[in-house]
A and B are shown apart, each in its own frame.
Chain A
Amino acid sequence: MKLLEHQSKKLLSQFGLAFTPAIVVQTAEAAVQAAKQLQASSFIPHPSSFVLKAQVPFGGRGKAGAVRFADTPGDACRVAGELLAMELRGVKVTSVSVEPKIAFTRELYAGVAWDTTAKLPVALLSVAGGVEVEASKQVARRNFDPWDGLSAFEGRELAAQAGLSGKTLVGIGGALEKLARAFLACDAVLMEINPLVETADGALIGLDAHVEIEDDAAYRQKQRLATLGEIAPTATGRKPTPLELEAQRIDAMDHRGVAGRVVEFDGDLALLIGGGGASLTVFDAIRRHGGKPANYCEVGGNPTEEKVAALTALLLSKPGIKKVAVIMNVVNNTRADVMARGVLLGCEKAGRKPAETISVFRIPGSWEQEARALLAKAGVEALGREMSLDEAARRAVAGVCDRHPSNEIGAHRAPLQQKH
């Protein structure tokens, strides 16, 4: 789960890392009070101006105009109002952080992440902090042992490698030790302070932070996360469509099996595909043969007949859908007959004749014979394992009558249009 900026800073503060004082507000009026309070605070006696930042769980805020400056508390009120009216990538801005703008002499980048090649955590440090850090060739990195963490001396060595010296080198050594300790203690997948600035008097202060905690470790981070307030749902780049939301609801109906993870596209062929790897394979194959998929999905883990029926009916309810293709890899947990019953029931619910609606049904493996018999009664031929995923996809496209399937790579491939 991705934390908002102010949550990230609060969490890292608990490990002794320093950030600019910040007050999070939900209304423009509260921004005035926040600005006055910051003016009165002793940390930075007289901030000449303020920074206001929309709290959203992704990067690129600056370029999107969601990081703004204000000179007076009155100004802060106006800017906060504008930010709170914004929507970024489908996420409505509901809170704004008000901070004093501070002067600094140097911008650094400090981060810890997982290095999947070394299979170890890695500490990162760059003297080119800010938004251009990725382009910088000067990122120093060092793997460390997940049992031991990173010692301050190792942090100082990394600082030296990055070209730092003097008081900065000492300060960075300590900051990296703390960041690495926080990373391991919080089950993070990412922690970064960017920029980490050095002020004229030599203090190291974080201006922005990104923290992502591993979802699979949430069970042992509950107490820590509870101190941070509500965690925003993960942004996917756009709002889920009504069909996607309904599919989520269907999947949540019953904990048994997965019949969901639907992504909607502009197309005419509904897909009921699985498991994970086969879904990716089949979707690619459908497009390669010139088909226009109406959705992506992942089915697996032996979902109930009711779930499969509801999902089938939902996918078929979309205007312009010609057929549904049901294709899975050789199954050993999911039952082919349960899938067949669900798909047949789904066709019925949608008021469609199975023989004219199911372009292919290919689920080899457990309970395959029973599935074959059920489908035969409804006039649908079940394909077996001798029919490859690719060939099944080709037939599915052929079943959608106005296009001819092609074996030429990408010959008829339509541009992929995600539904908005």
Chain B
Amino acid sequence: MKADSSFILHPSSLILVQGITGREASAMVADALAYGSKIVAGVTPGKGGQQVHGVPVYDTVAEAAAKHHPTVTVISVPAPAALDAALEAFAHGIKFCLIMTERVPRLDTSKLIVAAKRAGCAVIGPNTLGLIRPGVAKLGTIGGRVDNVRRSFTPGRVAVLSRSGGMTTEIASFLTSRGIGQSIAIGVGGDPIIGSNFTELIELLENDPSTDAAVIYGEPGGTAEEQLAERLKKKPSRLRINAFLSGRFVDEMQGVRFGHAAVIVEGERGSVRGKTTALREAGVFVAESFDEIVNGLPGMP
């Protein structure tokens, strides 16, 4: 049987934060703890023995894992240290890894995805603000301060998957304003290569008993939307899927060509028009305007 999404962030998941003494990570820990996330330990090499909002800091993941047994890690370290931090987590039994770090070189991302597969660890990111199970817990800075998080996100049965961190909260906030709650909201990461793309996450959510529908936010470039469309054409989903794609005007702007490899590898994929057509042909409702993203969702007329 395929795994459901509960291992990503279960109400009882014990969470580690790597790079916990950083400014952004420290603020994130305060907000996540206030929202109910069970952050049990942090790691910053060389700063073992300190505390961040009451969370003990260790020099190594080995030590933190031996004492607290976390299964989830949030990585918020400088880009040059991200690959090493992820490998350290994989080596010590972490099963789910969320990488917030921006500007991780593609080579490092690709290497860590290969290593994660070998270690049986799922990855979200890099370059994500995080994910949230409304009413339960959150990982990362998604939604910001706890009062803002409570206003934007409400528990329910619609999943939000977004290539933009800011739009994850914006979409959830809009759904909330229309009385539609969310089962999970995930900023999948803004990079060309990410640990879990739309297709992989939809397949996970298809096995998730708490999710009935999904709203997807896509952008120009890459092939994530087309890839999802291909999967849905082969095998329709039990989930109602709505999509909103921004950046239509980018199709009209003149680009600059450099080399042929991009066209050979990605073909004519990447344009918003192409993505829209592919998703519609696969049975996905693609909203013309942002407000239409709620159309046809469970609970909507």
Contacts and interface: CB of A to CB of B under 8 A. Distances in A.
Question: For the side of the interface on A, what is the size category?
Answer: 35 or more
A65 B261 CA distance: 22
Contact of B164 (A116, A219, A238, A275): A275
Interface string B255-270: 1111111111110000
A113 B262 contact: yes
Contacts of B256: 58, 89, 235-237
Interface in B1-33: none
A416 B252 contact: yes
Contact of B254 (A57, A187, A238): A238
Interface stretch (B34-42, B67-75, B205-213, B285-293): B285-293
A121 B107 CA distance: 8
Given A329-B167, A366-B145, A111 B110 contact: no
A418 B254 contact: yes
A332 B253 contact: no
B166 interface: yes
A21 interface: no
B106 A59 contact: no
A277 B107 contact: no
A281 B290 contact: yes
Nearest to B115: A147
B222 A116 contact: yes
Interface in B110-124: 110-111, 113-115
Interface in B79-124: 79-80, 103-107, 109-111, 113-115
Interface stretch (A222-230, A284-292, A342-350): A284-292
A281 B171 CA distance: 12
B259 to A, nearest CB: 4
Contacts of A210: 258-259
A283 interface: yes
Contacts of A391: 291
Nearest to A211: B259
9 contacts: A58-B258, A59-B259, A115-B265, A280-B247, A332-B169, A364-B173, A365-B144, A366-B145, A366-B148
Those 7 A-B pairs whose CB atoms lie nearest each other, nearest first? A332-B144, A277-B164, A280-B246, A277-B167, A113-B261, A217-B105, A210-B259
Given A276-B164, A277-B164, 12 more contacts: A58-B258, A60-B257, A114-B265, A119-B110, A134-B263, A187-B107, A212-B258, A217-B105, A283-B247, A332-B169, A333-B141, A416-B249
